[in-house]
């Protein structure tokens, strides 16, 4: 495929000649010429310009009136004069600012945007120095919490429509709209419903004034009092680049840091608002050691290290680790070396175990947007597992790509748990007509993106096989979504530390010692079962939880904002996580280094300096050594009475989110999603209370009818599925 | 006897003469000389007539401060707890007087005339911690500075600003 020839045009901006590709926006053209044109509403990531704010007024040769530069594109021979050389344009901009400020309250000392406010800055540079407005300004009730995390101040709004364009054209949640007309226009949500969307927090960053602000940052700090640390979010496998704002040693907010290949400057609400869990009340602050059966006693680190070393040494090589998948590579490597080299164990529960073959089809996430056709496979909703990937898929669809979703709720409907079988059918050209058709189009397209979002342990291998058989070349990408934020890095670190490939936790024999690393692992029921068989359990975790029932030594853990190290995201991109604030105790790596000293394994107590750069590059593709073969796909869906239950792990779940009060509204409601046909057969409508369960022993949940869902399938969030089997009967209560 | 008796005697005569004059030195702290009206001393936080604080906790004073001695932590006013007229107020307002250089930039930066520099200059303490003035201390009316001794006992020249105006 060859790139289309680019036609260069010559544009004159303020007397400076500049050559740009034809059709470039005038703001970028002027920037290329070294001229800054001030803007409020213009934001190329939000789609086509709207010219709402008129801040970019410029004089264009041959046009009698001032033009909004953001709506113009570069044409050959164009002569543009900005406010810097044209008095007419300067007067126009001055007047626009005076007009914008007519109803804008002068409460900058109260406003949290003060100091980092584009309206302040541009008024200072281009605007009037005084006001002629001596009449009462338009007032509204303020602030209005449009969601528990965002507050809206309508007085300050300058109606640039950035937020509504984001809601309509990027996240496509269609919840934020502009109502009424003229001076009475307001930004609002439908019927005062809260703005409940996975990406709602981005509007607070887009807003060029203090109209939409995060409630969590309300009156916390001023721009000159804060430190911004560049880091990487550690809450999902995407690894969005972020700025963490701290004041007086406390995290106050998280902002996105645009990595055009990973996140395009967007950040989900989980990444943006979960930081509050650092200050959770039930956080562990000192090591705890079990004292007989009574309970725990807080001890110093010296005692804890001695106790851990003793317990591990007595295990005699029968040692297992349960990883969370949130650890840094350095931490995982330290644990792996401790067990494999220091104790001679070779058992680990890895949250993700991707086959290295997927690296042969590695591509940046931004390649999804440029794809001609995208294939999404698997039962787990992409939005709940790696939200940014969903945003890229939406961008691809807007750019004209076809997005084929295959799964129980997909455009090609398949039974749950059949992703493996479906991929074999796609590769072999079999299956239903729809699937055969999709397979043909995938083979014909030159740029393909395959997103695999399932819990199958072999998914990496199967996905790579599918990609190989479809002949994915340059410009195409394969994205297997791991379960955990750094699952790939953890698995890599584990395999690098020694031989052997994990183990089956479902044995019966006694275990010498078990190391539980992190809260996610501590919450895992498999790990709890394993712990019952272990003579000694050492757990690190941030919060008190169930594991305090079965662990012998518990050391306080750190959050991703409190440690330094490398994380590997779903693309296979190694990125640097930086310590933003100091943990209230020793960090895990330091503790492991001290345990290592006791056991004779040298472990560096800190991550190596500058493992990767700020904007990490993606490593080149690996060579595919031998085209992998299709392993026979075991069908996981068994027949049973009633509806087959698909349990997904919602994005807003996990030990961190559970401890953030302001995110409670984002967590899934206690409802069960039903297919239209099933609901109709049972006389259920959306909003009805239904009884879910078998043999009459059920629980009451709210029903939500989904037209896309496959008949015979019901879907439910994991946190409401406790105790429900693979099949349930749903009856109207 | 001094090798130069005459100059010595002259000196004694001067001393003898001064003994019967009023002293030109001022006894501090018995007498405290009034300061000039634009003297920059200890800060004050001012109140509105209705008792609400003028300060809204915008931190502009902290931004202007070259010695970085002001710390402001704002909070939100609620109907139950209204401290200032706006949306926010200063929950914590601290000035570290041992760092302050009394430049008066905070007063210039303040958009609400909430902080002004007063006339007090007696700010010594036995402990450094006591040099950090809290909001309550800054809000309190200043201790009145009055000369404690009879002014007539001293031969103090009138300040220039008083003689000229």
Q: Which residues pair with A694 in a beta bridge?
A: A697
pLDDT digits (tens, 9 = 90+) for A421-470: 888 888 887 778 888 888 899 999 999 999 999 877 778 888 888 898 88
In CATH, A135-279 is 3.30.70.20: yes
Question: Is there a contact between A251 and A244 (Cβ–Cβ < 8 Å)?
Answer: yes
Q: In CATH, what is the architecture of B5-151?
A: 2-Layer Sandwich (3.30)
DSSP 3-state assignment of A638?
coil
**Chain B: nearest CA to A476, how far in angstroms?**
51
Give the domain ranges of chain B: 5-151
User: Which among B56, B63, B111 is the nearest to A222, CB-wise?
Assistant: B63
Asked if A222 lies within 8 A of B58 by C-beta distance, the reply is: yes
Predicted local distance difference test score (pLDDT) of residue A193:
87
Residues of A at the B interface, defined by Cβ within 8 angstroms: 107-110, 114-115, 142-143, 218-220, 222, 224-225
List Cα–Cα distances, A532 to A345, B73, B156, in angstroms: 18, 49, 90
The dotted CATH code for A8-100 is 3.10.20.740
User: Which among A142, A143, A222 is the nearest to B59, CB-wise?
Assistant: A222
The per-residue pLDDT of chain A, averaged, comes to 89
Transcribe chain B into DSSP letters. Answer: --SSHHHHHHHHHHHHHHHTSPPSS--TTTS-PPPPTT---SEEE-B-TTS-BS-----HHHHH-TT--EEEEEEE--SSS--SSSSEEEEEEEEETTT-----HHHHH-TTS-EEE-S------SSGGGGEE-HHHHHSPPPP----S-GGGS-PPPPHHHHH-
Cα separation of the two ends of chain B = 54
Cβ neighbours, 10 Å, residue A399:
12
**Does residue A234 surpass a pLDDT of 60?**
yes
Question: Is there a contact between A466 and A449 (Cβ–Cβ < 8 Å)?
Answer: no
Residue for token pair 């645009």? A258
Domain A288-353+487-599, CATH number (from 3.40.47.10, 3.40.50.740, 3.40.50.970, 3.20.20.150): 3.40.50.740
**Chain A: nearest CA to B109, how far in angstroms?**
11
In the sheet with A373-377, reading across from the earlier edge strand, the strands are: A412-413, A402-407, A373-377, A448-452, A477-480
Q: Which residues pair with A283 in a beta bridge?
A: A543
Asked if B86 lies within 8 A of A109 by C-beta distance, the reply is: yes
**Hey, what are A28's tokens?**
């970028």
Query: Is residue B75 within 8 angstroms of chain A, CB to CB?
Result: yes
User: Which among B58, B63, B75 is the nearest to A110, CB-wise?
Assistant: B58
List Cα–Cα distances, A349 to A122, A136, A309, A656, in angstroms: 55, 66, 21, 21
Taking each helix axis from N to C terminus, what angle separates A118-126 and A87-100, rounded to the nearest 10 degrees?
140
CA dihedral A449, A454, A458, A460 (to 10 degrees): 30
Q: Which residues pair with A413 in a beta bridge?
A: A407
In CATH, A356-480 is 3.40.228.10: yes
Asked if A110 lies within 8 A of B86 by C-beta distance, the reply is: yes
Predicted local distance difference test score (pLDDT) of residue B146:
52
Q: Which parts of chain B sit beneath pLDDT 70?
A: 1, 142-165
- Topology of A643-732 in CATH? Barwin-like endoglucanases (2.40.40)
User: Which among B62, B76, B111 is the nearest to A109, CB-wise?
Assistant: B111
pLDDT band of residue A183 (cuts 50, 70, 90) is: confident
Q: Please, is A51 exposed, middle or buried when counting C-beta atoms within 10 Å of its C-beta (0-12, 13-18, 19+)?
A: middle
A538 vs A420, which has greater pLDDT? A538
pLDDT digits (tens, 9 = 90+) for A586-602: 989 999 999 999 998 88
HSE-up of A106 (CA within 13 Å, CB side)? Answer: 11
Question: Is there a contact between B127 and B77 (Cβ–Cβ < 8 Å)?
Answer: no
pLDDT digits (tens, 9 = 90+) for A700-709: 899 999 998 9
What gap in Å lies between CA A295 and CA A289, rounded to an integer?
Answer: 8
Q: Report pTM.
A: 0.90
Contacts with B70 from chain A: Cβ below 8 Å:
none
Kindly state the greatest CA–CA separation across chain B.
Answer: 87
Q: Could you tell me which residues come within 8 angstroms of residue A674 by beta carbon, excluding any fewer than 6 positions away?
A: A643, A682, A684, A690, A703, A704, A705, A706, A709, A714, A730
Name the B residues in 33-62 with CB < 8 Å from any A CB.
56-60, 62
Q: Could you tell me which chain B residue has the CA closest to the CA of A111?
A: B58
Asked if B76 lies within 8 A of A218 by C-beta distance, the reply is: yes
List Cα–Cα distances, B18 to A43, A51, B7, B23, in angstroms: 83, 86, 17, 8
> ipTM greater than 0.90, yes or no?
no
Predicted local distance difference test score (pLDDT) of residue A75:
92
Write down how long chain B is: 165
Q: Could you tell me which residues come within 8 angstroms of residue A371 by beta carbon, excluding any fewer than 6 positions away?
A: A396, A401, A445, A447, A448, A449, A475, A476, A477
User: Which among B63, B75, B76 is the nearest to A224, CB-wise?
Assistant: B63
**Does residue A280 surpass a pLDDT of 80?**
yes
pLDDT band of residue A643 (cuts 50, 70, 90) is: confident
List Cα–Cα distances, A503 to A235, A267, A322, A353, in angstroms: 26, 36, 11, 12
In the sheet with A67-68, reading across from the earlier edge strand, the strands are: A16-21, A8-13, A79-81, A57-60, A67-68
DSSP A452: E
């Amino acid at each position: 495929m060859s790139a289309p020839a680019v036609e260069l045009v010559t544009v004159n901006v303020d007397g400076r000649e500049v050559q740009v590709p034809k059709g470039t926006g005038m703001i970028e053209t002027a920037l290329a010429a070294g001229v800054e044109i001030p803007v409020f509403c213009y934001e190329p990531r939000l789609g086509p310009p709207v010219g709402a704010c008129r801040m970019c007024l410029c004089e264009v040769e041959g046009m009698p009136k001032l033009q909004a530069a953001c709506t113009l594109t570069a044409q050959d021979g164009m002569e543009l004069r900005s406010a810097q050389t044209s008095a007419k344009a300067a007067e126009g901009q001055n007047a626009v600012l005076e007009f914008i400020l007519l109803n804008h309250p002068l409460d900058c000392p109260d406003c949290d945007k003060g100091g980092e406010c584009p309206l302040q800055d541009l008024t200072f540079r281009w605007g009037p120095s005084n006001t002629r407005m001596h009449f009462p300004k338009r007032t509204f009730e303020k602030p209005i919490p449009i969601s528990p995390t965002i507050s809206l101040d309508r007085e300050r709004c300058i109606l640039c429509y950035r937020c509504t364009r984001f809601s309509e054209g990027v996240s496509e949640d269609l919840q934020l709209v502009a109502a009424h007309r003229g001076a009475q226009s307001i930004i609002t949500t439908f019927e005062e419903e809260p703005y409940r969307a996975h990406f709602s927090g981005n509007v607070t960053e887009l807003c060029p004034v203090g109209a939409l602000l995060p409630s969590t940052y309300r009156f916390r700090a001023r721009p000159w009092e804060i430190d911004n640390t560049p880091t990487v979010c550690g809450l999902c496998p995407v690894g969005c680049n972020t700025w963490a704002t701290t004041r007086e040693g406390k995290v106050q907010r998280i902002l996105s840091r645009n990595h055009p290949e990973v996140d395009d400057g967007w950040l989900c609400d989980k990444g943006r608002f979960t930081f509050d869990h650092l200050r959770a009340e039930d956080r562990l602050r000192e090591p705890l050691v079990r004292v007989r059966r009574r309970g725990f006693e807080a001890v110093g680190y010296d005692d804890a290290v001695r106790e851990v070393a003793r317990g591990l040494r007595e295990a005699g090589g029968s040692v297992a680790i349960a990883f969370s998948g949130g650890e840094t590579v350095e931490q995982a490597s330290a644990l792996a070396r401790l067990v494999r080299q220091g104790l001679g164990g070779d058992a680990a529960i890895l949250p993700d175990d991707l086959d290295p073959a997927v690296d042969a089809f590695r591509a940046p996430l931004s390649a999804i947007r440029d794809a001609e056709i995208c294939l999404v496979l698997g039962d787990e909703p992409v939005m709940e597992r790696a939200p940014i990937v969903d945003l890229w898929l939406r961008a691809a669809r807007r750019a004209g790509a076809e997005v084929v979703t295959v799964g129980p709720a997909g455009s090609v409907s398949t039974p749950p748990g059949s992703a493996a079988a479906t991929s074999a059918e796609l590769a072999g050209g079999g299956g239903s007509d729809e699937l055969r058709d999709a397979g043909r189009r995938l083979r014909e397209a030159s740029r393909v993106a395959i997103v695999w979002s399932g819990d199958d342990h072999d998914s990496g291998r199967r996905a790579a096989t599918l990609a190989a058989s479809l002949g994915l070349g340059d410009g195409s990408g394969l994205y297997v979504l791991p379960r955990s934020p750094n699952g790939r890095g953890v698995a890599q670190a584990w395999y690098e530390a020694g031989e052997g490939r994990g183990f089956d936790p479902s044995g019966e024999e006694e275990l010498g010692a078990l190391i539980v690393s992190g809260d996610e692992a501590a919450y895992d029921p498999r790990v709890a079962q394993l712990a019952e068989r272990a003579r000694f359990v050492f757990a690190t975790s941030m919060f008190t939880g169930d594991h305090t029932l079965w662990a012998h030594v518990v050391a306080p853990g750190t959050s991703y904002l409190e440690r330094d190290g490398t994380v590997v995201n779903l693309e296979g991109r190694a990125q640097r996580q930086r310590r933003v604030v100091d943990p209230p105790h020793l960090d895990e790596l330091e503790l492991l280094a001290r345990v290592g000293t006791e056991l004779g394994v040298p472990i560096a107590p800190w991550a190596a300096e500058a493992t990767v750069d700020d904007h990490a590059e993606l490593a080149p593709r690996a060579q595919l050594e031998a085209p992998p073969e299709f392993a026979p796909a075991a069908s996981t869906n068994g027949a049973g009475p009633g509806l087959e239950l698909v349990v997904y792990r919602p994005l807003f779940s996990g030990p961190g989110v559970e401890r953030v009060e302001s995110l409670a509204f984002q967590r899934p409601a206690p409802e069960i999603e039903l297919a239209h046909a099933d609901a109709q057969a049972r006389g259920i409508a959306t909003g009805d209370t239904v009884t879910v369960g078998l043999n009459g022993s059920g629980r009451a949940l709210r029903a939500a009818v989904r037209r896309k869902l496959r008949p015979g399938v019901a879907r439910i969030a994991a946190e409401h599925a406790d105790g429900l089997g693979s099949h349930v009967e749903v009856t109207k209560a | 006897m001094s090798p130069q008796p005459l100059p010595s005697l002259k000196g004694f005569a001067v001393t003898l003469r001064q003994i019967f004059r009023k002293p030109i030195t001022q006894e501090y702290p018995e007498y405290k000389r009034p300061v000039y009206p634009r003297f920059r001393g200890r800060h004050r936080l001012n109140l509105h007539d209705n008792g609400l604080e003028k300060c809204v906790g915008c931190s502009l004073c902290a931004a202007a401060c070259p010695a970085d001695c002001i710390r402001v932590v704002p909070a939100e006013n609620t109907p139950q707890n209204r401290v200032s007229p706006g949306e926010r107020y200063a929950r914590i307002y601290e000035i570290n007087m041992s760092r302050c250089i009394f430049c008066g930039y905070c007063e210039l930066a303040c958009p609400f005339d909430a902080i002004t520099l007063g006339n007090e200059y007696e700010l010594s303490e036995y402990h450094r911690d006591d040099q950090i003035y809290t909001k309550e201390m800054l809000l309190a009316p200043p201790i009145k500075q009055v000369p404690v001794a009879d002014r007539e006992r001293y031969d103090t020249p009138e300040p220039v600003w008083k003689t000229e105006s």
